[in-house]
Amino acid sequence: MTLRYDATGLKPSVVGDARGVSDLDRSRLRPRLLKAHQAIRTAHERGELGFIDCPQKDPESILSWAAKKRAEGFREQVVIGIGGSSLGSRALYEALAEDPHAGEGSADGLRTHFTENIDPVGVARLFDRLDLSKTLFIVVTKSGSTVETMSKFWLAFDRVCSELGEDKARAHFVAITGPKNDGLRALADHYGFDSFEVPTNVGGRFSVLTPVGLVPLALAGIDIRGLLAGAKRARECAALPDFEHNTLLQITADIFTLYERGVDQIVMMSYSDQLLPIADWFRQLWAESLGKAKDRGGNSVHVGMTPIKALGVIDQHSQVQLYMEGPNDKLMVFLEVASFGRELKVPTRPGLPASLAHLAGLDFGDILDAELQGTRRALQEAGRPTSTWRFDGVQADDLGSFIFAWEFITALMGELFDIDAFDQPGVELGKKLAHGLLGREGFEQWAKLAQSNADAGAARSIDDEE
């Protein structure tokens, strides 16, 4: 089965195995998809699903604020966030920054670091090498209370205050958080940090096109106008009411049909280093939105498709054996780049043995492309479902389309599963327990958790977990 989607125009430019495509029988799900589409429209009209409005927002005030901030002499920024408050902006920075990990920042674009984990070694390494006088900290948390984010914010604030004094420190912090909370929002008000709002009706993992992503990206000098323009095009495509013209409805029909046939894993395999981190963003979107125990009626359903990240060509030499010959339970989603905009050739210098002589003069981009085509073809021959998202180049515009498209597909999938795609009850429980374990009530909670593990027949003991 071959499905080919064009991320630029979002047109179903189906190539390759047309037999495979018709085999999916898209029209079977047409009525359900149209119903899902209507349900999303109704929820949006009620003021929910604010992610649909994001591409329409005007980025100019963020751009002028960012230009002003850079002119104050900052050269680096550290984005402190996790999950939806980091994965999207990190992916877009990695894809679109000139050379994300090299060189010094400038007044045109700050060098950007993302800190998500709380491994003390990783955090200390990053914080210890910063020139605090030129560093801006962007603290991003919709809830305002995420342990990992807030503990690192406090570390940064303490260090900047100690080095520069509290008065100067305030200019080094920017808060991006919900409109009202007693965590980061309250602190931002208290200390007078510049701040931006995460709209209440936009879920964290759907928020990259709000200030959550736009502010750090604008500071990094990334083309956020292009990003939103691409997202807007995808939004127009998403709004088309008829199934035959709405690529996103068709894509969702294909994925859901495959799911019904036992394909419950989705491998996003990027044939571009620059695009690889977008698979991290996608994994959270897909996993947290669609992995649910209960449907809207409260029935136990345990639905979801496990998202997997893979990199071509590296995973050809690691995972593809399984994808080819293991259980036929994976949809391969290839990310293909038509032009890397950079020529790099295997030298024609004499000396290669005859068996490798054909490599001389080949362009690395062409080799990569041949490897993608070979792998895709081989998987298809083995009857494995594949689809391709083709980017002309790695540009803001196409990435904006890609992001909005997958957000919308996710919402449609939620409707087909008849679940709430915008909550994450399974994560909340762990968060609450972790909070409890870190607080004064910790030992009691710890004991209760251990008891319930034991009641559930879990073989692990407290000692094992320590």
Q: Is 183 in the site for ligand G6P (CB under 6 A)?
A: no
C-alpha 165: how far from its chain's center?
A: 36
Provide the minimum distance between the beta carbon of 177 and ligand G6P in the complex, in angstroms, as a whole number: 8
Contact mark string toward ligand G6P, 188..207, x via CB under 6 A? ----------------xx--
- List 59, 83, 88, 230, residue binding ligand G6P (CB under 6 A): 83
Structure tokens belonging to residue 239: 């709004």
Counting residues that bind ligand G6P (by CB under 6 A) gives: 14
Q: Is 82 in the site for ligand G6P (CB under 6 A)?
A: yes
| Alpha carbon distance 88, 2 (integer Å) | 28
| Alpha carbon distance 96, 220 (integer Å) | 10
Nearer Cβ to ligand G6P, position 221 or 307? 307
| Alpha carbon distance 187, 193 (integer Å) | 8
Q: Is 211 in the site for ligand G6P (CB under 6 A)?
A: no
Q: Is 395 in the site for ligand G6P (CB under 6 A)?
A: no
Provide the minimum distance between the beta carbon of 82 and ligand G6P in the complex, in angstroms, as a whole number: 5
- List 8, 85, 112, 289, residue binding ligand G6P (CB under 6 A): 85
Nearer Cβ to ligand G6P, position 48 or 392? 48
Nearer Cβ to ligand G6P, position 86 or 388? 86
Strands 265-270 and 330-337: parallel
Bridge partners, residue 388, by sequence: 4, 334
Helices (H), 311-387: 320-325, 364-381
Q: Which stretch binds ligand G6P (CB under 6 A): 54-62, 79-87, 106-114, 269-277?
A: 79-87
Direct distance between the N- and C-terminal alpha carbons of the chain, in angstroms, rounded to an integer: 47
Nearer Cβ to ligand G6P, position 1 or 80? 80
Q: Is 149 in the site for ligand G6P (CB under 6 A)?
A: yes
Q: Which stretch binds ligand G6P (CB under 6 A): 81-89, 128-136, 250-258, 375-383?
A: 81-89
Nearer Cβ to ligand G6P, position 216 or 385? 216
Helix axes 396-417, 276-290, angle to 10 degrees: 20
Contact mark string toward ligand G6P, 321..360, x via CB under 6 A? ----------------------------------------
Q: Where are the beta strands (DSSP E) in 166-317?
A: 173-177, 194-197, 265-270, 292-294, 300-303, 306-311
Residues 416-435 that bind ligand G6P (CB under 6 A): 424, 427
Q: Is 410 in the site for ligand G6P (CB under 6 A)?
A: no
Structure tokens belonging to residue 17: 């195995």
Structure tokens belonging to residue 434: 């972790």
Contact mark string toward ligand G6P, 113..142, x via CB under 6 A? ----------------------------xx
Nearer Cβ to ligand G6P, position 309 or 377? 309
Nearer Cβ to ligand G6P, position 81 or 221? 81
Strands 135-141 and 111-115: unpaired
* CA 317 to each of CA 256, 267, 274, 375: distance values in angstroms, whole numbers, following the listed order: 29, 15, 19, 11
Which amino acid does the sequence have at 15?
V
* CA 448 to each of CA 56, 428, 452, 459: distance values in angstroms, whole numbers, following the listed order: 48, 17, 6, 16
Which amino acid does the sequence have at 383?
G
Q: Is 257 in the site for ligand G6P (CB under 6 A)?
A: no
| Alpha carbon distance 260, 239 (integer Å) | 26
Strands 2-6 and 111-115: unpaired
Q: Is 386 in the site for ligand G6P (CB under 6 A)?
A: no
Three-state DSSP state, 244: coil
- List 6, 254, 280, 288, residue binding ligand G6P (CB under 6 A): 288
DSSP secondary structure string, 67-120? HHHHHTT--EEEEE--GGGTHHHHHHHHHHSSSTTSS--BTTB-EEEEE----H
Q: Where are the beta strands (DSSP E) in 12-164?
A: 76-80, 111-115, 135-141
Q: Is 146 in the site for ligand G6P (CB under 6 A)?
A: yes
Q: Which stretch binds ligand G6P (CB under 6 A): 1-9, 143-151, 166-174, 380-388?
A: 143-151
Q: Is 283 in the site for ligand G6P (CB under 6 A)?
A: no
| Alpha carbon distance 20, 388 (integer Å) | 14
Nearer Cβ to ligand G6P, position 33 or 184? 184
- Point out the residues that are catalytic: 288, 317, 431
Q: Is 84 in the site for ligand G6P (CB under 6 A)?
A: yes
Question: Which spans of this chain sit near ligand G6P (rule: CB under 6 A)?
Answer: 82-85, 141-143, 146, 149, 204-205, 288, 424, 427
